[in-house]
Chain A
Amino acid sequence: MYPLPIQKRHQTVRFTYYVALPIFCLLWLIPLLAVIATSVRPMGDLNGGNYWGLPSSFDLVKNYSEIFTNGPLGLYMLNSLKVTIPTVIGTIILSSLAGFALANYEFRLNKWVFMFFVAGNFVPFQILMIPVRDFTLKIGLYDTSLGLIFFHIAFQTGFSTLFMRNFIRELPRELVESARVEGLSEWKIFRYIILPLVRPAVASLALLEFTFVWNDFFWSLVLTQSKYTQPVTAGILALNGQYSSAYNLMSAAALCAALPPIIAFFLLQKHFIAGLTLGGGRE
């Protein structure tokens, strides 16, 4: 264990640690706490300059119901869901197929295909922007959820394939080999032997992809424009204009936009962190 467990340290060190830990945690979370506090303030607080004191009344229900009834936030969030969920499913299907191939077959270009997926993953979006926008316009998918979904699936496949391949490679090879001796077709090996085993990896990957795609801002700007398709990351900026100095409403909206990944993260924390480190390609 490194550093030395606090229980083995001198009493003063231990005491300092116990005091410092929550203080440090609060300091780290100031930005979030401030937004939470602002989101329940009445408008009067803001007009009166009370930005940082305690809210004079607790307007949770009022503010939060206002942003959903009196503006398109709900629509934006729905748009985000309509893009995110199909993308996650599509990415997982494509990457488990490709990851299986890369992990199980020895063929000449294996390493090159793998490198190609890894490298593509790091490419700056800007080099793709004009042609992808052009292509999306041409196939009639500009300003549709499907246009975004296709792009996200394609781009996320790089990272996800790396991820699935690393996971499948760790599975015992004898499983596949003995299935082959039994005469199972390659497709059946994938479907009935590999797929059930990669379930934990799929959970991690789904959670990561959900967060990445939900938080995407750039492609929402480039590939959509109307409020009937625009995801919440881009939509919330439009709201920022609409609410201008109503910081309480804006904070509530920002929190709602950030909420789905936060919930997912807290529910499935273990999977999330496992995914992040495996996907990072532990050496």
Chain B
Amino acid sequence: MTAIDVTSHPPDQTPDSQTPVARTGRRLAFRYTPWLFMAPAIIFFVLYVVIPIGRSMVLSLYKWDGLGEKLFIGFDNYRALFHDPQFYTALVNNFWWLVFFLLSVPMGLAIALFLNQTVFGIRLIKSLFFFPFVISQVVVGMVFSWFYEPNFGLLGHIYRWFGAEPIALLADDRFVTFGIIFAGLWPQTAYTMILYLTGLNSLRPELIEAARIDGAKRFKLFWHVILPQLRPASFIAVVVTVIGALRSFDMVSVMTKGGPYGSSTVLAYYMYETALSEYGYRMGYGAAIAVILFLIMMVYISYFVYRMTKNERGM
């Protein structure tokens, strides 16, 4: 507690000992009011988020089938992870997710620039572009797996149209992850697009006019005048995309169940599979995977939260 007290800023008013009794009462009441308002939210949050994080960390040091006795085994789960080829596959796939999912940021920006006009029907078109984001990922995943189906899917048709033999994308361990990421890009791009459309709405026209009068050429205008003003939008777009890439579960689960032979698995799915698979529950091992995923995410989360709160004026 003391560590927190030192860093929090405005020193809490005057010491209670110097204030008259009546005022102390009111001040005390005032002190507890915010906590009363926050109590329900905090209780739920602690019960379902904070405590489980701690319990998962502890559990990762145990061997447990979900029913019987828990057996303490120290860091054995983590040691086993480092020799688990499936874990490395998941890690590498998560890396590809991160890299290629970020394509949705420039793609969203490009579409936003394309749509930021005032022509007839543009509002409808904007919402049509946005709406993949509203659909459940389960449905998106299903639709894309039909697409990739080599015999009757659209992809097969395109291949044959070019005279090539269609490949079963989702059954090929070389391409399967990229096929899933591509499907994921559809809703994600819609999301970043909408963030950029709002960003474009709050551009400052006088800056753009001034730059145009100064004769700034297209690319320079975009790079030096427009992009810097879009930074808040870019920041949020990157945040939600990175988090989305690391959280990817639905698509993998629906499209391949991590297959063929575990080649398209990601940490989120591998964890679920280990902990609750039909081949028996390995809770401790699953918890260890979850902890690793959590630690990777914490790196980003702390940076994002730091950036988000830095700009807040002190309360």
Contact = CB atoms under 8 A, between A and B. Distances in A.
Binding partners A and B: yes
Interface of A: 1-3, 5-6, 17-18, 21-22, 24-25, 28-32, 34-35, 49, 51-52, 93-95, 97-98, 100-102, 104-120, 122-132, 134-135, 150-151, 153-155, 157-158, 161, 186, 190, 211, 214-215, 217-218, 221-222, 233-234, 236-237, 240, 247, 250, 254-255, 257-258, 261-262, 265-266, 269, 273, 276-277, 280-283
A131 B52 contact: yes
A188 B142 CA distance: 50
Contacts of A119: 301-302, 305
9 contacts: A25-B129, A30-B154, A32-B132, A105-B34, A107-B31, A115-B305, A123-B297, A217-B249, A265-B130
A100 B8 CA distance: 20
B138 A236 contact: yes
Contact of B194 (A214, A254, A258, A273): A273
Contact of A211 (B41, B42, B134, B246): B134
Given A25-B129, A126-B293, A106 B52 contact: no
Contacts of A125: 247, 249, 268
Nearest to A211: B134
Contacts, number: 276
A127 B56 contact: yes
B50 interface: yes
Contacts of A134: 55
A262 B131 contact: yes
B49 A94 contact: no
A254 B139 CA distance: 6
B58 to A, nearest CB: 9
A117 B45 contact: yes
A257 B302 CA distance: 36
A164 to B, nearest CB: 10
B138 A233 contact: yes
Contact of A2 (B119, B208, B246): B208
B136 A258 contact: yes
A186 B304 contact: no
Given A112-B4, A122-B304, A281-B236, A131 B203 contact: no
Contact of B41 (A3, A18, A106, A161): A161
B232 A283 contact: yes
B129 A17 contact: no
A196 B111 CA distance: 37
A124 B294 contact: yes
A1 B201 CA distance: 8
Given A126-B289, A250-B142, A258-B139, A97 B37 contact: yes
Contacts of A117: 41, 45
Contacts of A153: 44
Contact of B8 (A98, A109, A155, A214): A109
Interface residues of B, number: 104
Contacts of B186: 31
B205 A1 contact: yes
B287 A130 contact: yes
A34 B152 CA distance: 12
A151 B297 CA distance: 21
B52 A135 contact: yes
B49 A273 contact: no
A255 to B, nearest CB: 8
B8 A111 contact: yes
Contacts of A111: 8-9, 309, 312, 314-315
Contacts of B119: 6, 17-18, 21
A254 B143 contact: yes
Given A32-B131, A258-B136, 15 more contacts: A3-B113, A17-B117, A31-B140, A94-B41, A101-B37, A117-B41, A120-B49, A128-B52, A128-B53, A130-B275, A157-B41, A217-B253, A218-B272, A273-B198, A280-B236
Nearest to B12: A108
Given A52-B154, A97-B38, A120-B45, A217 B138 contact: yes
B44 A94 contact: yes
Contacts of B50: 120
B128 A28 contact: yes
A28 B256 CA distance: 24
Contact of B37 (A190, A250, A280): A190
A129 B290 contact: yes
A124 B305 contact: no
B189 to A, nearest CB: 9
A278 to B, nearest CB: 10
B14 interface: no
Contacts of B9: 111
Contacts of A273: 130, 194, 198
Contacts of A114: 309
A272 to B, nearest CB: 8
Contacts of A52: 154, 157
A112 B8 contact: yes
B47 A154 contact: yes
Given A52-B157, A123-B297, A280-B195, A257 B136 contact: yes
A265 B134 contact: yes
Most buried by B among A97, A107, A127, A282: A127
A107 B52 CA distance: 27
Tell which of B5, B48, B305 has the most Cβ of chain A within 10 Å: B48
